[in-house]
Amino acid sequence: MPSFDIASKVDLQTLDNAINITKKEIDNRFDFKGGHVLIELNKKDMTILLEVDSDMKLKQLEDVLLTKSMRQGLEANCYDLSKEPNANGKYIRKTIPVKNGIDRDYAKKIVKLIKDSGLKVQPAIMDDVIRVTAKKIDDLQDVIKLCRTSDIDLPLQYINMKS
């Protein structure tokens, strides 16, 4: 039976490249000259630490990070930008978690979305991926189209297509 997996993985090397390109861009920008700017990627926790002088520079830094990441092929919604920045001393610090993997709540939402669509497929949650099987490949392609048009706040990849 044809099947494929729905996953949400961020390539660590691509993320590291996006961070390095962002650092180079910030080093060359006139409005960041002479100010304190810190961008660090914690590969173990999959978080990005941003530290700047002012709130305006933080917004600009986030914008540059998103732009450079999207040019590297990462989706903008792989970053959880909802957390508020905190001020310590004279610097503003923000930790941005990188969404990697589908957690149980999102997996249940996706499975419910697929089952409610009425397509003749069988979705199953397997750790941090969702395996979808069907009798016809056309049904699997309809599931991919459904997931792309829905408002799921995760960057999804469709891998391991087997017929």
Are 108 and 93 contained in the same domain?
Answer: no
The enclosing domain of 124 has a CATH number of 3.30.70.860
Are 124 and 59 contained in the same domain?
Answer: no
Rounded Cα distance, 161 and 31, in Å: 47
Provide the token pair at 71: 């040019």
Residue at a domain's end among 46, 72, 97 = 97
- Is pLDDT above 90 for 134? yes
Rounded Cα distance, 141 and 95, in Å: 37
Are 28 and 84 contained in the same domain?
Answer: yes
Q: What is the pLDDT of residues 29-82, one digit of tens each?
A: 998 888 899 999 999 999 999 999 999 999 999 999 999 999 999 999 999 999
Number of domains in the chain: 2
Torsion of CA 153, 5, 110, 104, to 10 degrees: -80
Residues 129 and 102: beta-carbon distance below 8 Å: yes
Are 91 and 133 contained in the same domain?
Answer: no
Query: Quick one: average pLDDT of 10-37?
Result: 93
Are 57 and 124 contained in the same domain?
Answer: no
Question: What domain range is 22 assigned to?
Answer: 12-97
Q: Collapse the DSSP code of 147 into the 3-class scheme (helix H, G, I; strand E, B; otherwise coil) and give the result.
A: helix
Are 81 and 130 contained in the same domain?
Answer: no
The enclosing domain of 47 has a CATH number of 3.30.70.990
Q: Determine the pLDDT at residue 151.
A: 86
Spatial strand order of the sheet with 3-7 comes to: 121-126, 129-134, 3-7, 157-162
High-pLDDT (> 70) share of the chain, %: 100
Q: What is the pLDDT of residues 114-130, one digit of tens each?
A: 999 999 999 999 988 99
CA angle 38, 40, 41 (to 5 degrees): 160
Are 116 and 61 contained in the same domain?
Answer: no
Q: How confident is the model at residue 93 (pLDDT cuts 50, 70, 90)?
A: very high
Q: Determine the pLDDT at residue 127.
A: 85
pTM confidence score: 0.85
Are 59 and 90 contained in the same domain?
Answer: yes
